[in-house]
A = this chain, B = another copy of it.
Amino acid sequence: MTELRLRMRLMRGEEIALGPGKVDLLEGIERTGSISAAGRELGMSYRRAWKLVETMNRCFANPLVETAKGGHSGGGANLTPEGRQALAAYREMESLAQDAVQANAQTLQDMLAPEPGANVV
């Protein structure tokens, strides 16, 4: 199987303000209303999911994720308006980039050798 993998990282100095993992997490938080549930779905530890949220909230002028009263363990979490905006802008970038490179990616994929063991049609 051949494919073009495209990854985008929004950098603030040396920190990754937004990247594939963080965006997946935002999406999960929006859907589940919980940082830990979202992290679990992605195979992340609770600690890891929290660290990603803290990094995003620190890197952006306004937090992307807000937690309800009850702090880390209780209460649930939600995206702020900025969180929804950042998520949408990133997902749109992914699809704009994929569309833009599609023809060249196909050219390159057609230049690849068949994979060993692949069925030759």
**Chain A residues in the interface with B (C-beta under 8 A):** 1-13, 17-18, 58-62, 82, 85-86, 89-90, 92-93, 96-97, 99-101, 104-105, 107-109, 111-115
Complex CA gap A6/B97 in Å reads: 9
Residue from the list B11, B59, B108, B111 in contact with A4, Cβ < 8 A = B11
B61 touches A108 (CB 8 A): no
CB-based contact B2/A11 at 8 Å = yes
What are the residues of chain B within 8 A of A113 when measuring CB–CB? 12, 58-61
Q: Is the CB of B11 within 8 A of A111?
A: no
Interface hub of A82, A93, A115 (most chain B Cβ within 10 A)? A93
A62, B114: Cα distance in complex, Å: 11
